[in-house]
Amino acid sequence: MIHLEEPGAAVDDKEREITLREVEARVEALDGIDLTHLLPGTRITVVTLAAGADANEAVSRLRLLDDVEWVEADAEVTPDRSAGATRRTLDGAASDWSLQRLRLPEVYSAYTVGDCRVAVCHIDSGANLSDATRDQYFYNPGEYAGALGIDDDGNGVVDDFFGANFIAGNNNSMTSDLSGHGTATARALTRTAPRVTLMPCKALTEAAVVPFSVAIQCIEWCKTNFENMRAHGGGQVTGIYAASWGGSVSSLALSEAMSAADALGATRALFVASAGNVPAETHFPASSGLANVLSVTHVDRRDRVTGNAGRWIDLAVPAESSSEAAAVAAGVAGLLVSVAPNLTPEELRSALARAAAPLPRTSGASFGRLDAAASFERLRGQGRLARPAGAPDRQPCVPSEVWAPAWPSLPAGSRPCVGGGGGRACWASFPAS
């Protein structure tokens, strides 16, 4: 991934576009290196190498190009789970005690929570549609009103009716889960947040790793959906992104994409990221230090920290793993947005972290345990709740009724957002190429 230098303030948009095209041409002139696409809202270009090409040698060649600020090779991180935790979450046992510790039954009885116009972007190994999560699946109105085999909404993904899959460049809607990890985190999320929509994007490979470049594509896809939802009557200001994965290696490109998702367009972005299951000084992206990241670890039934306990962690959640913890925290964030849709990322972080219950001093933790009821009480005290009383509406969403009329298809000749840039569906301000 290549980051281009930012032109001076005196350079107008036309000159920026010329510079961008010149760099693209120089990249494409290099043997064995192909320009794949531009990341919306950034000056990052993604390139791929020919089979057998040496990555270090390619990075060195790209760094010699004029107008290139930095180059980084793609890297991979892993999901934060254990086989036992995944199995218990699939069985539903883990979520039951977690909901009680979070005081969620009190929330369900006191507030009208859940709104299928509120969504959580679920970047994971997919989620099986036949699972109990199916009633909360995202449906893309820009596609379901269109034709099969056509990218009706112009976002670069054909027939993404209920999800997207960017593994190995598939760019399709097949989000079936082979590992079980995504289905487990999806179930934890939807059990926590009834009637909040799950927006699944598959980024976990068959080798059980998450390439940063694929995670970035998922961010692009989800961001476009959040923008469309906002533009067509949805009240959700902050898109919520659940990332139940991480590792010791970091990525400038992913950091920039996460920042751009928050800074550009009509919607903001809050990333709820798992902090890892074992002690570690860093666990990217949870430890990225970005203002729009909420880093989450997990505690057991006795409030003992059983996951990572770094000082950069914001919150602990009662769960079997930090993967489940991040999913649950993202679900609670979705519930908060369902009753207070104008919440910003900063306000969501504050409602979740500052209302947290203190952990035992023996834990040595600088963070507290998520208390969902206290988070709602905090917002109610601030006069932020738009729907203060009642019970959750557990009826499944009907897209044709919720989003009516359907989003219009992209006009002929327009450029798609993911993989191209510059189309009407794009959320970013990246110059059209």
Catalytic residues: 124, 181, 323
Q: d(Cα 203, Cα 199) in Å, to the nearest integer?
A: 13
- Measured over the CA atoms of residue 256, residue 259, residue 260 and residue 261, the dihedral's sign is positive
Instruction: Answer for the pair 418, 220: CB distance below 8 angstroms, yes or no.
Output: yes
**Angle, to 10 degrees, between the axis of helix 345-353 and the axis of helix 322-339?**
120
Phi, psi of 19 (to 5 degrees): -60, -45
Q: What is the number of helices (H) and of strands (E) in the chain?
A: 13, 15
> Helix, strand, coil % (nearest 5) of the chain?
35, 15, 50
Neighbours of 180 (CB within 10 A): 17
| C-alpha–C-alpha distance, residues 129 and 338, integer Å | 23
**What does the alpha-carbon distance between residue 242 and residue 261 come to, in Å, rounded to a whole number?**
14
Q: How many CB atoms lie within 10 A of CB 22?
A: 13
| Cβ atoms 89, 187 nearer than 8 A | yes
Helix (H, G, I), strand (E, B) or coil at 369: strand
Whether residue 67 contacts residue 27, with contact meaning beta carbons closer than 8 Å, is answered with: no
Fill in the amino acid letter for 111: Y
Q: Which residues of 228-244 are buried (b: 16+ CB within 10 A; e: fewer)?
A: bbbebebebbbbbbbbb
Phi, psi of 383, deg, nearest 5: 70, 30
Separation between Cα atoms, residue 341 and residue 337, nearest integer Å: 5
**Encoded tokens for 244:** 């139940």
